[in-house]
Structure 1
Amino acid sequence: MDVVSLYTNIPHQYGITAVKEALREHNISTPNPDLIAEMLEFILTKNFFQFNNEFFLQLQGTAVGTKVAPAYANIDSSKLEKDILTSTPKKQQKWKRFIDDIHFRWPHTTDELIQFYTFCNNIHETLKFTIEHSNSELPFLDNIRIIRNNQRETKV
């Protein structure tokens, strides 16, 4: 699975809450998590950009080029992942995530996989997923994972 346009679809409050929770979970108290959240809110809500000689204010998400964007997106993905994994009725095997790209094994039926996918897309209003599934090969992080004759292969 992959989150669709993660950086530009993270709602500010959801992302800020994710960052505050991550700071508290890892016992980071200096600087104060509330101060970090306040600075992050400033960065997110004051992101102006120019296109075709017009200025725009980005209302949702974070600009890909800001220094905070990769860490912010990863922390947000971690919260989204926890929200999914703690509330889904059917469990996966071998869940692996790199920022917004997710690879997992599904030990249930294809119909149940589609139900899980629908469940994931209903967790949040703007954070949506795409999915690719196969019993023989799948793309993940610019590689293709292949199963042939009960052997695993990777093709770049």
Structure 2
Amino acid sequence: MNVAGKEARAGEAAMLKQAQADMRAAASELRVWAESARNASDQRRRLGWAAAGGVLAGAALWTTLPGVVARAAPASWSWPERIAARGLRLDMWEAGERLLSRSDVERWRTVVLANRMLQDNREDIVRCRQMAAKAAKAVRCTIVIKADASTQKYRSMWSKL
């Protein structure tokens, strides 16, 4: 019975050693999985920071690079003016008028009034310039300024001209 007991205990000891080895292997595998999960979390965090950095760098380039390139282009291409017009969502003429009118209201009113006088007296001014060219000196000419609602609006401007 002693031998049978020893064999039974030896079998149990072998099973216990096998169970311990299996337990160590499972614990080792769990450690690997936990480390892998920790690494994945760290990678996601780093990827988030890299994405945020990329967005910031892209925004910085997006705001500065077009202006640098536009100013480096030949002036005849009018890239800065086109960018300004596109930013205002207007064609270049209307964008220019808007920028001028917002920049200095009094000077803009002067331009508008001078343009109105030129348009209203175009033929007289052409004739007067021809007479000045023919005489090769300054000549006096008469123009007509209409009194309409828009003229009354800028009455104070007329006194400054």
Q: Greater relative contact order: 1 or 2 (C-alpha under 8 angstroms, separation 6 or more)?
A: 1
- Highest CA radius of gyration, 1 or 2? 2
TM-score scaled by length of structure 1: 0.22
Bigger helix fraction = 2
TM-score scaled by length of structure 2: 0.22
Bigger strand fraction = 1
